[in-house]
Structure 1
């Protein structure tokens, strides 16, 4: 191979690890950092190079991707002590985390001081889709930079949609998507709980819903996993959805928009996350709504 690309990846969690894995290959030197040495060790076994900090990754790679849990971590990784801003080699920084419009713009401004171009690149699809390369990739930012990273994004996901030239446009789209998904999950859970309380069979309810106007991917691909014991395993914590819905409401407030239905949805996710379900799979929103209804929704 005449040329090997030096790519970096920071954050090897539930989503980051399967995404980063899709960049491994003979033509790529993949430089990684995560707080979990065991996870980094697994990547070293697959041919990656482990580093001691985000800065060290940015010293080694021209294009660095990040997949991180919340805005404060994203800011620390970008321009905190040992952040990528002080890296010697990095040119492009692709933030795939869901952190909101204000945070991605702040990162863009700070990294630009070091001559680094930031690309807004949140993703949707969940851990199963990440493992199978089926993610939807949303991207916004400088058109030339977006064009340069698009081949790598296409390797991670099956669809790459450019939302515009401004940082934050992809973040807003991701929040819109997650808010709609969160609302669909709450409404479907409440409907199933109502039917169950009235004595309807869950399999029969699903048969009708999946072929009728009440259908949604939130029901047929996500919530369906909670209908059988032991299958609450979509792969993202309930608290992540609560965070995203709250971020979306904050963006709406900043724009002077009232979203009463989605604000009510936020209340449901916030109440669920306040208990012992916060670190459980997002499909456990059904468990919370069952508790409120005093019923159980189970196939069989």
Structure 2
């Protein structure tokens, strides 16, 4: 099957390689020349712009960093909506319900099937083909996209028939994940300040009731060894928090926890820079506690 992939960053690039490894032809586009070279080196084809991808593949996936990039990719002068061959467009970005509903409606008006399909699992999950795909859309669009999704995701959950429903589920997941990360950074730093060993604490937590995605994955693989190699920037968390708070506003639901996490997360990003690796947020808590969480004698906050 020939698949188009637009957005070849940490997530999209890894998914493209997984699809190539599963026997699919992949044609891709990214604004980064380095990302395009990586795809070509992995055996993929490169295109000049999104429309060229949609001229060459019936199924086109997009994994992009935000609303502007997604709308430009879909509807710009060289957008996929103008492609000659495309029949199904899969939006894998986390954009929020309203943006995806708009994109889906415009695609439908152009006669193009649309699937809302954000993924969870982070850059490592993308490399290993262990993502969770959260999908909503018509049965026809789901089946058209299934071969591509099966190549990158070990779990595929159909949330409902309307684009936007998967976005809501993804935002609920993401605020829980972000909250767990912030809380774990605070709590483990507190334990180290009180004289406990960070790795031993994580081992205890991971067989106890406090375990979460931060203790199971981010701490053992990126923080304790001091590699800070999660693979995604703090900027993605900032975007996801803002989208969650937008949803809360639209739903007229209080979001006291989300608002508190937003304040802490924005402070962290302002200290470290929004493009810093997600796992570096521990450094802010280390600085507050004058401790080091991990295996190396790095200076706190270094």
Q: 1:26, CA displacement in angstroms?
A: 8.5
- Tell me which residue corresponds to 2:300: none
The structure 1 residue matched to 2:38, chosen from 25, 38, 42, is 42
- Provide the C-alpha distance between the structure 1 equivalents of 2:219 and 2:261, rounded to a whole number of angstroms: 16
| 1:34-113 alignment, distance < 5 Å | 34-113=30-109
The structure 2 residue matched to 1:256, chosen from 239, 244, 252, is 252
- Tell me which residue corresponds to 2:194: 198
- Tell me which residue corresponds to 2:290: 294
Matched, 1:129 2:114: no
User: Which stretch shows the higher mean deviation, 156-165 or 17-26?
Assistant: 17-26
- Tell me which residue corresponds to 1:156: 152
Matched, 1:273 2:273: no
Indicate how the Cα distance of structure 1 residues 253 and 120 shifts in structure 2: closer, same or farther if over 3 A, else same. Answer: same
Let me know the Cα RMSD of the aligned residues.
1.7
User: Which stretch shows the higher mean deviation, 28-37 or 7-16?
Assistant: 28-37
Q: Is the 8 A contact 1:277 1:284 kept in 2?
A: no
| 1:154-233 alignment, distance < 5 Å | 154-228=150-224, 230-233=226-229
Q: 1:72, CA displacement in angstroms?
A: 1.1
Matched, 1:16 2:12: yes
- Provide the C-alpha distance between the structure 1 equivalents of 2:279 and 2:285, rounded to a whole number of angstroms: 11
Q: Secondary structure at the match of 2:20?
A: coil
- Provide the C-alpha distance between the structure 1 equivalents of 2:219 and 2:242, rounded to a whole number of angstroms: 21
Q: Is the 8 A contact 1:11 1:34 kept in 2?
A: yes
Tell me the alpha carbon deviations over residues 163-211 of structure 1, each in whole angstroms, 9 at most, x when there is no partner. 0001111111111111001111111111111112222222332232122
Matched, 1:236 2:249: no
Indicate how the Cα distance of structure 1 residues 196 and 24 shifts in structure 2: closer, same or farther if over 3 A, else same. Answer: same
- Provide the C-alpha distance between the structure 1 equivalents of 2:67 and 2:104, rounded to a whole number of angstroms: 13
| Structure 2 residue runs without a partner (length 5+) | 297-302
- Provide the C-alpha distance between the structure 2 equivalents of 1:14 and 1:184, rounded to a whole number of angstroms: 22
Q: Secondary structure at the match of 1:65?
A: strand
TM-score (normalizing by structure 1):
0.93
Q: Is the 8 A contact 2:94 2:118 kept in 1?
A: yes
Q: 1:30, CA displacement in angstroms?
A: 1.7
- Provide the C-alpha distance between the structure 2 equivalents of 1:192 and 1:28, rounded to a whole number of angstroms: 44
Q: 1:217, CA displacement in angstroms?
A: 2.1
Q: Is the 8 A contact 1:185 1:223 kept in 2?
A: no
Matched, 1:246 2:242: yes
Alignment size in residue pairs: 296
Q: 1:284, CA displacement in angstroms?
A: 1.4
| Structure 1 residue runs without a partner (length 5+) | none
User: Which stretch shows the higher mean deviation, 9-18 or 222-231?
Assistant: 222-231
- Provide the C-alpha distance between the structure 2 equivalents of 1:26 and 1:267, rounded to a whole number of angstroms: 42
- Provide the C-alpha distance between the structure 2 equivalents of 1:183 and 1:265, rounded to a whole number of angstroms: 6
- Provide the C-alpha distance between the structure 2 equivalents of 1:44 and 1:204, rounded to a whole number of angstroms: 43
